[in-house]
């Protein structure tokens, strides 16, 4: 099959010539997971203890069943998440995402965090993590026979097709977000 002019064949498929295919560890400052244990819960705690099941459609979802911890427990077990972090479920249901926006949360072991470098658009990567090619790489790297587990090494090695500039990444992410909003509004008709 002949490629359309301006495109190239890569290990993740056909992409524009000026795009690159890079591993997640190239565009992140840190990839880690949450607490591998159980914190001391506090009924009046101001920090929510979340896992992968609290991540959905780019949001952190707190329910009546979400446990909480107090400040001392949070400080003891906190992870270095910040405004450049994307949270992802990595155990059981794999690949659910939440965009961290300063929520007072403590991560459990079934949630990973991806801290992005400043030259990478958070919204672009959010959309990229939902593509078929990325999800297939996650699926291929799952371990566990009963419940699938996505290891941090697999996440770090996952290949992402990416435009050369953050401006281009943000323009694409905005178009995808607009398309999502339109589809959502039409679903309500």
Count of CB atoms within 10 A of residue 189's CB? 4
Owning domain of residue 159? 7-187
Residues 6+ apart with CB under 8 A from 183: none
Question: Is 72 among the domain residues?
Answer: yes
Question: Is 1 among the domain residues?
Answer: no
Question: Is 2 among the domain residues?
Answer: no
Q: What is the DSSP letter of 76?
A: H
Q: What per-residue confidence (pLDDT) applies to 167?
A: 93
| Phi and psi at residue 64, to the nearest 5° | -65, -25
pTM of the full structure: 0.91
Please count the structural domains in the chain. Answer: 1
CA distances from 167 to 109, 125, 171, 172 (A): 34, 13, 6, 9
> Scanning the structure block, which residue is given the tokens 């909003």?
181
Q: What is the CATH number of the domain that holds 22?
A: 3.90.220.20
Q: What per-residue confidence (pLDDT) applies to 1?
A: 63
Per-residue pLDDT of the chain (189 residues; tens, 9 = 90+): 688 999 999 999 999 999 999 999 999 999 999 999 999 999 999 999 999 999 999 999 999 999 999 999 999 999 999 999 999 999 988 999 999 999 999 999 999 999 999 999 999 999 999 999 999 999 999 888 778 889 999 999 999 999 999 999 999 998 988 887 788 778 766
Question: Is 48 among the domain residues?
Answer: yes
Q: What per-residue confidence (pLDDT) applies to 8?
A: 93
Q: What per-residue confidence (pLDDT) applies to 42?
A: 96
User: CA 35: distance to chain centroid?
Assistant: 17
Query: Whole-angstrom Cα distance, residue 151 to residue 86?
Result: 16
Q: What per-residue confidence (pLDDT) applies to 187?
A: 75
For residue 78 the two structure tokens come to 């906190």
Question: Is 120 among the domain residues?
Answer: yes
């Amino acid at each position: 099959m002949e490629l359309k002019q301006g495109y190239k064949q890569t290990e993740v498929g056909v992409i524009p010539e000026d795009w690159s295919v890079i591993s997640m560890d190239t565009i992140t400052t840190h990839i880690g997971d949450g607490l591998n244990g159980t914190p001391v819960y506090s009924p009046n705690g101001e920090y929510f203890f979340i896992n992968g099941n609290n991540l959905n459609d780019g949001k952190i979802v707190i329910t009546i069943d979400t446990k909480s911890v107090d400040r001392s427990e949070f400080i003891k077990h906190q992870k270095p998440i910040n405004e450049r972090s994307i949270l992802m479920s990595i155990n059981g249901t794999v690949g659910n995402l939440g965009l961290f926006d300063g929520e007072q949360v403590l991560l459990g072991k079934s949630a990973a965090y991806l801290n992005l470098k400043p030259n990478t658009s958070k919204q672009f990567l959010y959309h990229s993590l939902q593509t078929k090619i990325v999800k297939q790489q996650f699926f291929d790297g799952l371990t566990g026979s009963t419940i699938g587990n996505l290891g941090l090494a697999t996440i770090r090695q996952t290949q992402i097709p990416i435009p050369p500039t953050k401006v281009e990444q943000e323009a694409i992410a905005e178009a995808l977000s607009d398309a999502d909003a339109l589809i959502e509004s039409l679903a309500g008709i």
